[in-house]
Structure 1
Amino acid sequence: MFTRLTLPAIASCLFASIGGVSAATATQFPAKVCDVTQYGAEGHRLQIALNTDSFQQAINDCAAAGGGTVQVPAGNYLVNPLFLKSNIRLNLAKNATIVASSEVSAYRASQESRYAEAENGWLPFISIADASNVAITGEGTIDGQGAVWWERWRENIRATGKKAGTDRPRLIYITRANNILVDGIHLTNSPSFHIVMRDASNVDVNNTRITSPWHAPNTDAIDPIDSRNIRITNNYIDCNDDHIAIKAEKPSPRYPDGTADNIYIANNKLLQGRGISIGSETSGGVNNVLVENNQFIGSMYGIRIKSPRGKGGEVKNIIYRNITMVDVDVPLVFSGYYQAAPIVQAEVDKMVAEGGFTLGEQIYPPDSDARQPFDSVKTPHFSNITVSNLTSTGNSKAAAFIIGVPEAPLSGFTFENVRIDAQQGIRIRNAQLKTSGLTLHIDQGQTMILDRGAMID
């Protein structure tokens, strides 16, 4: 006997205009149940003892028996990194909380666990590596206890005077895996990114709540990297950094249309955070993305495609439709420049005095910036991008930025039935924009700020 988990069917017309996408993930598990408390786990309110061995043994035994459900009853469980295996469902009951330990050494791989190590050299808290037919479900919570890691990040900046990266563990890391479901749970306080997919396929993140405080650095909610057939639906996201960041880090002859391909993002509620993004790494190519029926409230950004020279590549066949935004600082950003502004304000002031401008934490050169040699896997080049039926109201600082590099102007951009209320208008540089039904309510200055290479139809 098997337990089968399916998501509601995606409409048959999905990607009809830009390609195909596979059906929603259907994971299926044997009826066997391995309750972690039967392996010695104790869910005390004030956790002191680790429950790692009990959890991992339940996972191992269930997998050895052909698969099944590893059940986590209500309670609080302190745990070191865990390794899920094929045909395993980790199910968290209501009021069950798995708390990640903050013991640094636990996140360094042994020879046995090196296969699950993330690209930054850390073990994630929960690994799904070289596996298929895996699910994390239920009404419980996975708490990454990120505050300790965030403070170490700040200490590093204070010591070096330079912005730090994401040299911290991920919360859930899905790599070289297929047919994966994350459904119903609450993920919070990750040391860095909450869910990362790398070289994964057929992954659904549905009906999941992902939260971190505004001061938590680099706490992206969901990052599909070099992955295909991904569905991100019906989620609630309130985080510090990108709500979703699609990345294509390096080209692969196996995926000539793009290493990130066929991605569906729909019916999500997005609060603080930095938008549904593509980039900054796009060298491997991003193709066939449909973003629809999403709601943004109080976000820093709404929709972004962002890549710098050196990490750029081809981004094509992207549709955004039926989107509402309220009090989003900048609703739309499409940029071939993505360079962090210096920490020292005097350096920023000098670059602005030379004709550049800042957007959030990024610095842009003046529009006299020289053309550089084109490289298909280093130069950002975006095409066939459509935004339709978008309404953004409330307190926005600027309507949009559409900024290409001179060696690869952005092409095939279309705005249809787009209404934006903002203090400032749309700034366009090295880009072609076709509009139909574009309505801008701008408080000051021009509705269209046209730099060099701007073309409006």
Structure 2
Amino acid sequence: MKNALLLAGLLAAATQAQAQALPAGMAALPRVKTPQFRPDTLSIVKYGAVADGLTKTTAIQQAIDAAAKAGGGVVLVPRGHWLTGPLEMRSNVNLHLAPGALVQFSAVHSDYHLIKTSWEGVAAVRNQALIYGQGLENVAVTGRGTFDGAGNTWRAVKKSKLTETQWKRLVDGGGVLNEKKDTWYPSASALKGSTIPEAFYLKPGQTTADFEPIRDFLRPDMLVLDGCKTILLEGCTFQNSPAWSLHPLLSQDITVRNVSVLNPEYGQNTDAIDLESCKNGIVEGCTFDVGDDGICIKSGRDEQGRKRGVPTENFIIRDTKVFHAHGGFVIGSEMSGGARNIYAYNLTFMGTDIGLRFKAARGRGGVVENIFINNVDMKDIVAQAIVFDLYYMAKDPVVLVGESAVPPVIKPEPLNEGTPQFRHISIKDVTCNGADVAVLLRGLPEMPLNDISIENAVIQSQKGLSCIEAENIRLKNVTILSKETTPVLEVQNSKNITFDGIKYTPGAALLMRVSGDRAKDVKLVNTDTKAAKKDLEIGDKVSKKTVTISKR
């Protein structure tokens, strides 16, 4: 076993040495450091663990502590069903799950304790993560086993997310309902927390004791590594998380490889991976199927995020599949510290609400730039295939029954430190078989989206493209086969927009509509306009000189 684990570590390091091979045209990134461990192996069985799924053990934590005290090594969790409370990682320790190992985290909430931490980029109090580490170096969680987070004992569930039979079974099993009887909570404590605005945010003078009455509302993440260096997460399955699943925070040199994250589609806030204010890393070969965003880049929220001022930067994300999720690849909306130098490619999204999702809002601030995405294939996307939205309203991306689908009116506001910016973003080689909206680009009147290109894309959708409050936007060799064609391309208050080599549904009622008194320099070139019944419609405040069409 010792030799096998050592060999696995060497192979991982060898693979990492080749990890910086990027598609042509992409600049090199700093080399990602990978952890190395002593070959010494400690089995949790030595510390009295019983694999019956009933006996709650402290053996895993004892073995982690013993390995750290001895200078590091591998903690082995053999095949079997192991029940444990929360775990704290230590430097120089690799927690390794053998094939068939199932680590079940306790459903007894008193086994967890409240800590001061960060939630969505703001100082908060939460239950400590199921797997937690702070200020560590050289740390790993590896193997081919499974962690189960008992998330069903923590999460609220909306009635609208379940079938009638599922809802009845849930309610009959215990818990409490809110006043409207449309949301189930696992306990009165969880329900109470839901009625308090910003319940988990830490206010001046508060202590963790102040949050005890709503403990059940303060769901823990599955894994948090806070302020750590040289991290490896490889091979394991993480399922049924109470909240976010994998959350490296203010950490650097992160490798996440061949990991699976599985959470219920209705599980609120169950993001697969949130890279928050992290530096230098690679995520590859993973499979995600969750109830919130899949691959998510964050860097803090609003004033606190800007004050922290730590961007997420220098990451490669590749060869990864995302099934159910609000977004497949996502930046924001907590991006106040910025994000840059992100390279994402060879991604597949199947059944996500949105494919490529960039979101922010006034008050966030921050700059998202130098993002390169290519080779993305999507199928059965519920809402937008590609969306950039600086007017993000923190709503479910899928319009539910009774909700308005009418876009909001955006009024200009003065520029300030809370104005977000998205710029210098390239998307190439994309296919999407089925979406409601092909592309939505929505900036702010005071801060348009800037310098975004989409090239070599084929998107089948219900609706076409909307470009609102944007500038220096380029679409080249893009096919939009939309069912609704009035129009295929909608441009509002945007300038320096180029559509080059656009293909669309033959017989479209209207190819392009341009409106807004700030619209300027809109070009449609190398495009067969004769396939549409009408090629152009312009608004009352738009000069004919605003639009140039080079007909073929």
TM-score interval, smaller chain: 0.7 to 0.9
1:169 corresponds to which of 215, 220, 225 = 220
Whole-Å Cα distance in 1 between the matches of residues 470 and 306 of structure 2? 28
Determine the structure 1 residue equivalent to 2:126: 121
Q: Cα distance, 1:16 vs. partner?
A: 7.5
Question: Bigger CA drift: 132-141 or 5-14?
Answer: 5-14
Q: 1:107 corresponds to which residue? A: 112
Aligned partner of 2:453: which letter?
A: T
CA distance in 1 between partners of 2:256 and 2:21 (Å): 20
Q: Which of the pair is proportionally richer in helix?
A: 2
Task: Map 1:63-212; keep pairs closer than 5 Å.
Answer: 63-109=68-114, 119-151=124-156, 154-155=184-185, 160=195, 167-212=218-263
Q: Could you tell me whether the CA contact under 8 Å between 1:116 and 1:128 is conserved in 2?
A: no
TM-score (norm 2): 0.73
Q: Deviations over 1:54-110 (max 9, x none)?
A: 111111111111100000011111111111111100000111111111222222148
Is 2:118–2:125's contact at 8 Å kept on the other side of the alignment? no
> Residues 138-159 of structure 1: CA distance to partner in whole angstroms, max 9, x if unpaired?
1100000100111478435797
**Contact (CA 8 Å) 2:139, 2:231: kept in 1 or not?**
yes
Corresponding position: 1:48 with 2:54: yes
Q: Which amino acid aligns with 1:201?
A: Q
Q: Does 1:375 align with 2:407?
A: no
Q: Deviations over 1:113-148 (max 9, x none)?
A: x79999542200001211111111111000001001
- Change over 3 Å in CA distance of 1:270–1:347 after alignment to 2: closer
User: Aligned partners of 2:23, 2:113: CA distance in 1, in Å?
Assistant: 41
Alpha-carbon deviations, 1:349-394, whole Å to 9, x = none? 4xx6xxx42xxxxxxx22xx22112123x2121000111011111x
Give the counterpart letter for 2:289 in structure 1.
D
Identical counterparts, % of pairs = 30
Corresponding residue for residue 264 of structure 1 = 316
Q: Letter of the 2:51 partner, please give it.
A: G
Q: Which amino acid aligns with 1:271?
A: F
Structure 1 residue 18, shift from structure 2 partner = 5.6
Deviations 1:403-429 (A, max 9, x none): 001110001010111111101001110
SS at match of 1:50: strand
Given residue 67 of structure 2, which amino acid in structure 1 is its aligned partner?
Answer: C
Q: Where does structure 1 lack aligned partners over 5 or more consecutive residues?
A: 358-364
- Max radius of gyration: which structure? 2
4+ aligned runs moved over 6 Å, structure 1: 114-118, 161-166, 252-255, 342-347
Distance 1:454 1:100, change over 3 A: farther
Considering Cα pairs closer than 8 Å and 6+ residues apart, tell me whether 1 or 2 has the greater RCO. 1
Match runs of 1:22-61 below 5 Å: 22-44=30-52, 47-51=53-57, 53-61=58-66
Aligned-pair CA distance for 1:41: 0.5
Alignment CA distance shift 1:236-1:115 (3 Å) = closer
Shift of 1:310: 1.1
**What is the alpha-carbon root mean square deviation over aligned residues?**
2.9
2:445 partner letter: P
Distance in 1 (alpha carbons) for counterparts of 2:307 and 2:196: 40
Sort the Cα spacing of 1:84 and 1:16 in 2 relative to 1 into closer, same or farther, 3 A: farther
Q: Counterparts of 1:254-333 in structure 2 under 5 Å?
A: 259-274=311-326, 275-329=328-382, 330-333=384-387
Aligned length: 433
1: CA distance, partners of 2:118 / 2:197 = 30
Task: Normalising by structure 1, report the TM-score.
Answer: 0.87
The answer as to whether partners of 1:18 and 1:317 remain within 8 angstroms in 2 is no
Structure 2 vs 1, CA of residues 321 and 205 (structure 1 numbering), >3 Å: closer, same or farther?
Answer: same
Give the whole-Å Cα distance in 1 for the aligned partners of 2:470 and 2:330: 19
Partners in 2 of 1:454 and 1:327 — Cα distance?
A: 32
